[in-house]
Structure 1
Amino acid sequence: MIANFIQSFVTCGDVTLSVHRAGKGTPLILLHGYPQNHHCWEKVAPAFADHFDVIVPDLRGYGDSDAPADDADHSTYSKRQMAADIAALMDQLGLKRAHILGHDRGGRVAYRFALDHPDRIIRLGIIEIVPTGDFWANWSADLALKAYHWTFLAQPAPLPERMIGADPASYIDWTLQSWTLDKSLAVFSDTALASYRAQAADPAHLHAMCADYRAGASFDRALDDTDKAAGRRIAVPLHFLWAQGGFPAQTGNPAALWQPWVDQLSDASCISGHFAMEENPQAVIDSFLPYFSAN
């Protein structure tokens, strides 16, 4: 649990999502990434809840949310489908519009939501990603080594599931540690670590997390490329926070990769590895609290 947040379970089409909520005011939806779940927001969500109605779902396939089996074209875990889940969640909660802030895979759901449901988002926040198609297109040898999981997890089932499933806790610990700036697990709470390990130890959720990346390498990438070629743009403001020791920094000029997608772009960097909310929570609060509070 996130301190002072209340958990509920909300049926959204073909899945039931676990949702944590606290605060009041304009809705702010926080979307987590891989290999995490709602716990990644535990250091920043209470501060946001002092100003907003903060809603923290576990994406399909993660945390306490349902983890359906993947399908042949990987649409089940496409960011389009995950964004549709969030739209359905808003319907169930009676919310017409909301701010959305996403990290990692949740950032990909967030910008897909902005493209597919433009009338339902107020402001968009992105932490530590660049668009999926652009990330693939900007791979170098160094980035390929650092982001090896993009190709590993996307391999056909059940190869990565079996390899990770042989020792899921060690794989999760190694992944989390290697993506931090200090190469340490110290920034993660014991509760969060236990949750991330348990998630990977469950065959259905492990399959779902791999399916998330299979979608990224196929369905999501193709959809991004098609939208970019058609000149589709994100209509709402976008604020992008990238970590100096994270993945987008490896592309050279990460903010420039967002420019073709959005008319109102601002960006900032922080001293952190990939997991900015745990490694430098104050930077996340300082970057996004004024942004979402602006008229």
Structure 2
Amino acid sequence: MFEGFEAGLIQVEGAEIFTRHGGAGPPVLLLHGHPRTSATWHRVAPRLVAQGFTVVCPDLRGYGRSRGPAPAADHSAHSKRAVARDLVAVMRTLGHRRFALAGHDRGSYVALRLALDHPEAVARAALLDCIPISEHLSRITATFATRWYHWFFFAQPEIPERVINADPDGWYHGDPLSMGQENHDEWRAAIRNPEVVRAMLEDYRAGLTVDRRHEEEDRAAGVRLRCPALILWSLKDDLEELYGDPLRIWRDWADDVRGHGIDSGHHMAEEAPEALATALTGFFTTEPEDAGPEDAGPEDAGRDPSPP
């Protein structure tokens, strides 16, 4: 996987983030979801490099080979705000002050928070298989609570750790054929590490508490995405079934919203890498509507050649 990429740990305040990066050109940051690692992008990242991008794929705080602080009572140590700060620091360490961004599943919530908290850093944001956490929680139905029950199970203290760690292979299911053997092996090693399991659960506990509060505070203050937003969703998953057109929801959060469904199951980076890479490439190389002098064009979609 990731032929030609460099990989290693990057120290940030309170955490160390395992990061893969490669290519040359405008920088793109790719954020994975639960329970994956950065390896989930192994079929997409090389395609973006071939299109002329620098691609950065980190493991989120506590996932994979990244490590963060011990969990906090209020779950703030694993909040999307804390993780977003990690990633801004990672990108600056690599020499990128402004960049394009894509996040999937839990990584999409980090991407949203990063774009809201650090608008000067994000040229464009692609948000995959998601609506904001607060929008999910304000629309709870019996169908959502049944299908997405893990959100609420993971929020329980201690119980999910005991259940998952007793049989991680029984709880999580991965197919090496669809995932790719190396990606599968890396993912399987991660889910069998109790420290990683705890951090992944803290991600969900933060989602229902501190992350929800941050989103609601932003809505009350009128904070919106300043950058163009691409919304993509898996047609074989249930986001559209639950909420109709996701773009209608996202227009309450951003002025420049576009997007469409991808013919894929939930893990689109593994199941439909060509379609996803094509959509991301088109978005990252298209001028935003009413582009001003601070907007990044296709030649420099966020790259800042000055040192951090």
Q: Tell me which interval the TM-score lies in, with the shorter structure as reference length.
A: over 0.9
Aligned equivalents of 1:79 and 1:24: distance in 2?
A: 28
User: How far 1:82 sits from its partner (Å)?
Assistant: 0.4
Q: SS state of the match for residue 7, structure 1?
A: strand
Partner secondary structure for residue 187 of structure 1: helix
| 1:290 corresponds to | 282
C-alpha change, 1:140 and 1:245, in structure 2 (3 Å) is farther
Q: Residues of 2 paired with 1:42 and 1:135: CA distance?
A: 29
- Answer yes or no: is 1:197 the counterpart of 2:188: yes
Greater mean alpha carbon deviation, residues 194-203 or residues 70-79: 194-203
2:129 & 2:57 partners in 1: Cα distance?
A: 18
Number of the residue aligned with 1:229 = 220
Q: Secondary structure at the match of 1:245?
A: coil
The code of the aligned residue for 2:211 comes to D
Shift of 1:217: 0.6
- 3-state SS of paired residue (1:43): coil
The Cα shift of 1:278 comes to 0.9
1:37 aligns with 2:19: no
Give me the whole-angstrom Cα distance separating, in 2, the residues matched to 1:5 and 1:169: 29
Structure 2 counterparts to residues 177-256 of structure 1, below 5 A: 186-249=177-240, 250-256=242-248
Find the aligned partners of 2:75 and 2:5 in 1 and give their Cα distance.
33
SS at match of 1:260: coil
CA distance in 2, matches of 1:292, 1:12: 27
1:185 Cα shift?
6.1
Q: How many residues align?
A: 285
Other-structure match for 1:159: 159
Deviation at 1:194, TM superposition (A): 1.8
Shift of 1:67: 4.0
Cα RMSD for the two superposed structures: 1.3
Q: Aligned-pair distance for 1:232?
A: 0.9
1:267 paired with 2:268, answer no
Moved over 4 A (4+): none
What runs of 5+ residues in structure 1 fail to find an aligned partner?
177-183
**1:130 equivalent in structure 2:** 131
Which amino acid counterpart does residue 260 of structure 1 have in structure 2? D
Q: Match for 1:100: what amino acid?
A: L
Corresponding residue SS for 2:67: coil
The farther-off stretch of 268-277 and 206-215 is: 268-277
Matches within 5 A, 1:63-74: 63-74=64-75
> Secondary structure at 1:263's aligned position in 2?
coil
2:269 aligned with 1:277: yes
Residue correspondence of structure 1 range 24-103 to structure 2 within 5 A: 24-50=24-50, 51-103=52-104
Give the structure-2-normalised TM-score: 0.89
Q: What residue number does 1:179 align with?
A: none
TM-score (norm 1): 0.93
Shift of 1:91: 2.2
Q: State the alpha-carbon separation in 1 of the partners of residues 22 and 63 from structure 2.
A: 20
The separation in 2 between residues aligned to 1:246 and 1:73, in whole angstroms, is 32
Q: Distance in 1 between matches of 2:140 and 2:40?
A: 27
SS in 2 for 1:118: coil
> Any gaps of 5 or more consecutive residues in structure 2?
287-296, 298-308
Give the structure 1 partner of residue 290 of structure 2: none
Task: Out of 61-70 and 109-118, give the one that drifted further.
Answer: 61-70
The offset of 1:112, in angstroms, is: 0.4
Deviations 1:140-160 (A, max 9, x none): 22222221111111111x110
